[in-house]
Amino acid sequence: MIYISEEESAALVTHELAFEAVRRALVAAASKQSLVFPAVLGRAREATNTFSIKSGSSDQLTGVKIGSFWSGNPARGLPRHNSTVVLLDQETGRLSAVIEAGKVNAYRTAAADAVAADLLARKQAKLLAIFGAGNQAGFEVTALARIRPIETVLIVASPSPRRDAFVDRIRDHGLTARAVPAEEAVRSADIVVTATPSRQPLFDATWVNPGTHIVSMGSDAPGKRELASELLSRASLFCDLPSQSLQIGEFQHVRESVEAGTLIVTPIGDVIEGRGPGRRSDEEITVFDSSGISLQDLYMAEALIRAKASHR
């Protein structure tokens, strides 16, 4: 059995590795050879300590990812978010690999959004607006700056030392960064990313300019919501996996319209493979719902195993 510790996986992962692995996973998710099972959402004795179990299989990989959020960990000097990926042997069902992947999970999530943006955002997108200043937000900025000529990052978050430190961190990457109100950020942006635990829309749909690409990655449980329904009704909609997006992702709030055929949701894997259209004009508003699927974790685990072998 292969074991990769948190320290090892954090040293091996890169945005390049994550982009290629997640791209393969999104293609697999849109194929008939793969299965992604409903996410199990749970919590520990303390209601603020939560976990999720995501499982799936492709023609190459079978396994599960256990993600956890333990709210009190910073006081212990530990990250709130942790992740463990378990691969099973395709022939025997026995353990094949266990990979601790807390930091890797942040790369994996940002990679899915970068893969989608590479297909959906306008080629000359230079201004990125991001809602949230938490752990994931920084990974989103650096992943998107790899695939688009981002020059300026506008940050929407409540005033706090953490927000100010985040602004400084983005500037350290050579980007112009400042904290601004939500309306200014959205009206100015080529790309908008929402990375929050919100349960209500974060901004008015009328603030969004034609041609904007929007990523919602905070909606990953029933009741979570970052975007207004009015925005979704005037945009082209894409996601990692429609069945999951409609249950726990952003598109749960327009489920009836999707099921009735009034709104169309396209798996991003179909766009990668040329089976579905991506952006069709510079005026089109595109939305990618990134709820995070198990295949992303399985393909990341496989890529890390290969990377470890090549470093020997």
- What the chain holds in terms of domains, given with CATH numbers, is 2-105+295-310 (3.30.1780.10), 109-292 (3.40.50.720)
Residue with tokens 């409540």: 158
pTM of the model: 0.94
**CB distance 67 to 52 below 8 Å:** yes
* Among 189, 233, 234, 197, CA closest to 216: 197
Strand partners, 199: 225
HSE-CB of 281 using CA atoms within 13 angstroms: 6
Catalytic positions: 65
DSSP letters for 211-255: T-EEEE-S--STT-B-S-HHHHTTSEEEES-HHHHHHHSGGGGGH
pLDDT of residue 245: 96
Task: Find all residues with CB under 8 Å of 76, minimum gap 6, and list them.
Answer: none
What is the reported pLDDT for 194?
98
User: What's the pLDDT at 221?
Assistant: 87
Q: Distance between CA atoms of 225 and 248, rounded to whole angstroms?
A: 10
Res 91: pLDDT: 92
Mean pLDDT split into 10-residue runs, the chain, 312 residues: 97 98 97 93 92 95 96 91 96 96 97 98 97 94 98 97 96 97 98 96 97 95 95 96 95 95 96 94 97 97 96 74
